[in-house]
Structure 1
Amino acid sequence: MPEHSGPDPAVHTTDVREPARDLVVIADRGVPLVPNVGVIGGRDAVLVVETGIGIENAETVLKFALEYAKGRRLYLTTTHFHPEHAFGAQVFAGEATYLANSAQAADLEERGPGYLEMFKGMSDAVARRLEGVEPKRPDLVYDQSYDLDLGGRVVQLRATGRAHTRGDQVIRVPDVDALFTGDLVEAAQFSIFPWFPPHDTDVSGTRWLGVMERMADRGADIVVPGHGEIGGPQLLADVRDYLSLLRDETWRRRDSAVDERTIADEVSALMIERHPEWVGREWIEKGVGCLCAEHGGPGEPAEHAGPAA
């Protein structure tokens, strides 16, 4: 895991956006390891999307959500199990019902403890944020899809199948055509590939591309990425096109028996030339490693692919 050298990953409620009626986003402010946090309201209940990393951040999110809800029932969901998205869920116990898909619940149980220790090693600031954290199993676990009725507004939770993690899910608000993507989509950032063999090889570049193709085909008027500025359907197309090019350029060189180090150097240079303004350049090499491992392998069987998001 790359070292964390940025500012303290604190969630602040000083920059709150409202891209649609009764739907707000606590913006990440461009700070690494701070996610975009969603708060989606209906007549009877409010759904929080993401907790921030650690107990103090989750307390900030919970305080904001309770004030926003004004007595409405509270729910929590997380787009995937990674610490900045889900490692604050314990704070919501007794205040909110935590729901997520079964693959994410398995990730939290099986991968959560290892990621907790790995992230603690990124920096002293991150380690302090993670003091006292215990990955929490969701209260309500669904398989592939769940429609949550908030009262006059139904929110669709959909497992995508293995991509950035095994347990990715997206959250769609159909009445305003808004989509929360988690780290399947970042704005102005190279896709984060948690490729750490032999410890973690769950990420799949080919299946991630398949998810993005389906998401881009369906589109959304409002796209809330895991990190970065809120956008529209072009965000989905940008990630689809990047992953497609990353796969094609990696596999073209792999077909010519180029060694992986050379592939990583050449593909990284090409991608930076295409997107000089994007951050997270260290993740290009991780993506190359993942796609080299998938080179020539079978595609995902249709019956195992996640639903169109």
Structure 2
Amino acid sequence: MTDYPYPDPVVQTAQVRELARDLVVLPNQGVQLVPNVGVIGGTHSVLVVETGMGPRNAETVLKFAAEYARGRRIYLTTTHFHPEHAFGAQTFGGAATYLANRAQATDLVEKGPGYLRMFAGLGEPVARQLEGVELPAPDVVYDSSHDLDLGGRVVQLRATGRAHSKGDQVVTVPDARVLFTGDLAETGQFAIFPWFPPHDTDVSGIRWIEVMRKLARQRPEIVVPGHGEISGPELLDDLRAYLELLRDETWRRRDSGMDEATVIADVRDELIKRHPEWEGREWIDTAVACLCAEHVSRV
């Protein structure tokens, strides 16, 4: 097991941020492998968005949500199946109704165990949070869209189709003009491309661009990314522009006959030069490799 160079991936509740009436976020405070967690309220129910990584983080989230709900019914949803977003769902069993789209439910079954092993190997602090993880099936599974009535507030759950993962979902609160993107958008870092052939090749740069174009047209006032600072609609525009740049720089070099290893090194240098302040440089190589594969399938 490798040394883990980051703070322990623990959800904190000390700096709750209110975004609108009866809508708060537990910000990830810049900690790796901690998502932004949302709690959205209506007159008779609340919806929790993301569980945190593993049962102990989920206990923290559920305790906060139960106190916030004050007797209202609790629902849970997750933006995609990756461990820090969904691997605490078991803790909500019996206390909440878990909703997810069909592709995400399939990802949990087919890829969840492999991701559990992979993430546990990242280091002891991560493995500790993942101890005892079970991957329950969602209570409610929808195909492409689900409108959840919380009482005086309807929240829209929408499967985007394949992008960062096959089962990506966004959560929109229309009356507050708030959008939760999961890992379709991050603040201050290079887009996360989980391109791990032959085990996982579902991420698609081409599809991701199309998803970001559609989301940008919604023009939400507030965008809650999977990780990083809460932002405005410019985050969606910036992410789309980055993905288009990534595609264009990769495909231009492939069109010239450059081999993949050289393309990766060349594009990495170019993107770091453009965004020297961004974190997550390790995701550039997997992103370029993904776009190289999509270049092959395009010609």
TM over 0.5: yes
Asked if 1 retains the 8 angstrom alpha-carbon contact of 2:78 and 2:100, the reply is: yes
Secondary structure at 1:46 match in 2: strand
2:123 counterpart residue number: 123
Write the letter of the residue equivalent to 1:91: T
2:264 counterpart residue number: 264
Secondary structure at 1:295 match in 2: helix
Deviation per CA, 1:229-282: give whole Å up to 9, x if none. 000000000110000000000000000111111111111111111111110011
User: Which deviates more, 14-23 or 149-158?
Assistant: 14-23
Please show how residues 164-179 of structure 1 align to structure 2 within 5 Å. Answer: 164-179=164-179
1:19 counterpart residue number: 19
Secondary structure at 2:297 match in 1: coil
2:112 counterpart residue number: 112
* Offset of residue 136 of structure 1: 1.6
Relative distance call for 1:246 and 1:21 in structure 2 (3 A) is: same
Secondary structure at 2:175 match in 1: helix
For residues 167 and 4 of structure 1, the distance between their equivalents in structure 2, rounded to whole angstroms, comes to: 28
- Percent identity over the alignment is 69
Relative distance call for 1:174 and 1:47 in structure 2 (3 A) is: same
Is 1:95–2:95 an aligned residue pair?
A: yes
For residues 227 and 25 of structure 2, the distance between their equivalents in structure 1, rounded to whole angstroms, comes to: 11
Structure 1 segments of 4 or more deviating over 4 A? Answer: none
Deviation per CA, 1:12-52: give whole Å up to 9, x if none. 10111111111100000100000000000001100000000
Write the letter of the residue equivalent to 1:76: L
Secondary structure at 2:103 match in 1: helix
For residues 110 and 129 of structure 2, the distance between their equivalents in structure 1, rounded to whole angstroms, comes to: 21
* Offset of residue 287 of structure 1: 0.3
For residues 221 and 228 of structure 1, the distance between their equivalents in structure 2, rounded to whole angstroms, comes to: 17
Asked if 1 retains the 8 angstrom alpha-carbon contact of 2:3 and 2:124, the reply is: no
Write the letter of the residue equivalent to 2:157: L
Write the letter of the residue equivalent to 2:133: V
2:37 counterpart residue number: 37
* Offset of residue 298 of structure 1: 4.6
2:180 counterpart residue number: 180
Asked if 1 retains the 8 angstrom alpha-carbon contact of 2:162 and 2:208, the reply is: yes
1:135 counterpart residue number: 135
* TM-score (normalised: structure 1): 0.95
Secondary structure at 1:38 match in 2: strand
* Offset of residue 217 of structure 1: 2.1
2:246 counterpart residue number: 246
Asked if 1 retains the 8 angstrom alpha-carbon contact of 2:41 and 2:47, the reply is: yes
Tell me, which stretches of 5 or more residues in structure 2 are unaligned?
none
- Aligned-pair RMSD on alpha carbons? 1.2
Write the letter of the residue equivalent to 2:111: R
1:297 counterpart residue number: 297
For residues 3 and 40 of structure 1, the distance between their equivalents in structure 2, rounded to whole angstroms, comes to: 37
* Offset of residue 102 of structure 1: 0.2
1:194 counterpart residue number: 194
* Offset of residue 213 of structure 1: 1.1
Asked if 1 retains the 8 angstrom alpha-carbon contact of 2:205 and 2:287, the reply is: yes
Secondary structure at 1:175 match in 2: coil
For residues 210 and 106 of structure 1, the distance between their equivalents in structure 2, rounded to whole angstroms, comes to: 23
Secondary structure at 1:273 match in 2: helix
For residues 135 and 264 of structure 2, the distance between their equivalents in structure 1, rounded to whole angstroms, comes to: 34
For residues 169 and 200 of structure 1, the distance between their equivalents in structure 2, rounded to whole angstroms, comes to: 18
1:283 counterpart residue number: 283
Deviation per CA, 1:155-205: give whole Å up to 9, x if none. 000000000000000000000110000000000110000001111111111
1:46 counterpart residue number: 46
* Offset of residue 296 of structure 1: 4.3
